Chains A and B, each alone.
Chain A
Amino acid sequence: MGNYVDRFNTTDRILHWVVAISFFLLLLSGLGLFAHTFFNYFSLFGNPQQGIMVHKWAGIVFFIFSILLFLRHAAETCRFDADDRRWIVKVGGYLSRKRQEIPQGKFNAGQKLFGIFSGVATLVMGATGLIIWDPTAYLRELTQFALMLHGLFFTLFMVGMVVHIYLATVGNPGTLEGMLWGRVTKGWARKHASKWYQKVVKG
């Protein structure tokens, strides 16, 4: 059995990384549309028109895989118990050096919240993205509102993603391995997801 437990299977990992790659493609190809400061990012794609094309197609890929990823874990992410509520009140213990452990399932409450946010944000980005795909095809007021929402949820997604990446890498050593190779150490599992670990051990 060794020192590891399986956490994410191949399908989980492929879904996650397709979402991650298309997210970064969307980010790089969309920045030029977001503000003048980033206009030069379009040169990564040859010219702005090609950048916009990449943005549109990456958007379709992101939408489909992000929704699939959400649905795959929805049963876990959408269920909160008393421990989850304690976790939220204590912000997962991230605000102090003191060791305070709150038993968590496969995903901690923060991951669940981020999972739900990602699902909602994907729907909003997809719907508004479809409207501004051709900004002259719909009612002006609708398109104007869609442009605003697309920018707003991009901002929220960006901030969420910075936090997600920090916590999943340097903030919690050993977490990234689960998404890279599918396995985490037993120590990690006991520390971060003790209720899940107990279930895995019992089989």
Chain B
Amino acid sequence: MKRKAFLIDTTLCTACRSCQVSCKQWNKLDAEATVNRGSYENPPDLTPQLYNQIHFIEQDQNNDMRWLFINRRCMHCADAGCVKVCPSAGALYHTKEGLVAYNQDKCIECHYCVNGCPFDVPRYDAKKKVTKCHACIDRVQNGLTPACVKGCPTGTLQFGDRDRLISDAKAAGKKLYGENDLGGLGVMYVLDDEPGTYRLPKNPAIPASIFFWKDVVKPLGILGFWGAIGVAALHYVTVGPKRIEDTDDDQHSKGGE
């Protein structure tokens, strides 16, 4: 199966938030009470009830408002930190389309995945189970596009064959974010400014301590356990145990020498 992906051209986004609403509708996510923080951005972050969010970058440029908008969500990484740290196989997994979906029945509520994710995406619902954008895998596997893409009136959100999206964007002379990072992201952006402006890491990578934990310490732990048992067994049959010899129990022998 060819890898599927989103391509999000932020230059086309009008911040209508149809994507947020379509997602909530399809995934039956409840509305949440929010407060006015003096910004059009609302809600301010992903929540267990909000799988994709329009982040507003509101800049004052010589008394002119510069508005940038970006649809934030799970990036469906090929080399996904969340999948890497999840102890329960199958709780977070790659679908055959290369998207990162999850199965709440297998989630053991350890909440490790948020720490493995370079983009701080997974959230936990009232049942303490993992939630995030799963690319409407139920729709995709029935030949439909994800709900957010369906709802977007401007063509900002596109979904399809990853290779096709890349070649089309390149043919149109657009520069992509996320083409090769983390094995290639399943969400690529066309940006109007530096990634940092959009709160995106310039070179996204699995956090170093998470890499060390899973790719160095974990194999070492398994090796160390069996290695130590092996060394002990080897010691027993080569050097042998320190038996107490008869002379040790001789009352006249001196301790020490």
A residues contacting B by CB (< 8 A) are 3, 32-37, 39, 42, 48-49, 52, 93-97, 101, 103, 134-136, 140-141, 143-145, 147-148, 151-152, 154-156, 158-159, 162-163, 166, 170-174, 185-192, 194-195, 197-198
CB distance from B103 to the nearest CB of A (A): 14
A101 and B257 in contact, given A52-B108, A94-B239 (Cβ under 8 angstroms)? yes
Nearest CB in chain A: distance from B108 CB, A? 4
Question: Which stretch, B19-27, B154-162, B227-235, touches the partner chain A?
Answer: B227-235
Q: A173 with B232: in contact, given A135-B110, A159-B225 (CB under 8 Å)?
A: no
Q: In the bound complex, how far is the Cα of B256 from the Cα of A99, in angstroms? A: 11
Say yes or no: B236 contacts A170, CB within 8 Å: yes
Interface segment, one of B9-17, B70-78, B188-196, B240-248: B240-248
Q: B210 — which chain A residues lie within 8 A by C-beta?
A: 144, 147-148
Task: Please tell me if the beta carbons of A33 and B110 are within 8 angstroms of each other in the complex.
Answer: yes
- By a CB distance below 8 angstroms, the chain A residues around B248 are 187-188, 190-191
A198 contact set on B, CB distance < 8 A: 255
Residue contact A158 to B108, C-beta cutoff 8 Å:
no
In the complex, what distance in Å separates the CA atom of A48 from the CA atom of B112?
14
From A102, which residue of chain B is reached at the shortest CB distance? B256
Q: When the two chains form their complex, are residues A97 and B225 in contact, meaning their CB atoms are under 8 A apart? A: no
Point out residues on B near A: beta carbons under 8 Å.
85, 87-89, 108-112, 114-115, 120, 124, 207, 209-210, 212-213, 217-218, 220-222, 224-225, 227-229, 232, 235-236, 239-245, 248-249, 253, 255-257
Q: Are B111 and A148 in contact, CB atoms less than 8 angstroms apart?
A: no
**Chain A residues, CB < 8 A from B236:** 166, 170-171
Bound complex: CA A135 to CA B87 (Å): 14
Report B-chain residues with C-beta under 8 Å of the C-beta of A136: 111, 114, 124
B87 touches A171 (CB 8 A): no
Task: Chain B residues near A140: list those with CB within 8 A.
Answer: 114-115, 120, 207
A-B contact pairs, 24 of them (CB 8 A): A35-B222, A36-B89, A39-B88, A48-B108, A52-B109, A94-B235, A97-B240, A103-B256, A135-B110, A136-B124, A140-B114, A140-B120, A151-B221, A152-B213, A155-B220, A155-B225, A158-B221, A162-B229, A170-B241, A173-B242, A186-B249, A187-B248, A188-B244, A194-B255
